[in-house]
Amino acid sequence: MHHVPPDQWPAFVAEAWRVTKPGGLFAVYEHNPVNPMTRWAVWRCPFDHDAVLLRAGKVCKLLQKQGFEMVTRRYLFFMPSDRPWARRFDRLLRWLPLGAQYVVCARRPVGGGSAGVENPA
């Protein structure tokens, strides 16, 4: 979502709602702006010149406003290694909002859930 202009985030989430089947999951995997190394890496990347990083809480609010139900929010990549000990360390810290990236998963309700006010329908 960091390449989607901020004024278009509600429409982006509305489109996610439209294409997600009832009971289906929608996941947002993003760079974590709270992590200073992530901000530095994005700032240095020419491809990310237009990036506007979103905090996980902002993504959750956008999804909930649309009508999605939150399933999980996890922070990832605390250690720059793929070794088993580093992955275990990452799993222990996934609640801590300092990982280099995060994932937010939400579900479109099976019944009774209605689209939020941002739905352009």
* Residues spanned by the domain of 54: 6-107
- Closest listed residue to residue 20, CA positions, set 105, 84, 92, 79: 105
Q: Tell me the mean pLDDT in the region 89-93.
A: 91
Predicted confidence band of residue 121 (pLDDT cuts 50, 70, 90): very low
Quote the CA–CA distance of 116 and 17 in Å, as a whole number: 9
Residue 48 sits in a domain whose CATH number is 3.40.50.150
Residue 114 belongs to some domain of the structure: no
Residue 120 belongs to some domain of the structure: no
How many domains is the chain partitioned into structurally?
1
Predicted confidence band of residue 92 (pLDDT cuts 50, 70, 90): very high
Residue 80 belongs to some domain of the structure: yes
Distance of CA 100 to CAs 40, 53, 80, 95, 112, Å? Answer: 11, 12, 9, 13, 36
pLDDT at 72 > cutoff 70: yes
Predicted confidence band of residue 99 (pLDDT cuts 50, 70, 90): very high
Of all residues in the chain, the percent with pLDDT exceeding 90 is: 80
Residue 118 belongs to some domain of the structure: no
What are the tens digits of pLDDT across the range 44-65?
Answer: 999 999 999 999 999 999 999 9
Residue 117 belongs to some domain of the structure: no
Residue 112 belongs to some domain of the structure: no
Residue 115 belongs to some domain of the structure: no
Predicted confidence band of residue 93 (pLDDT cuts 50, 70, 90): very high
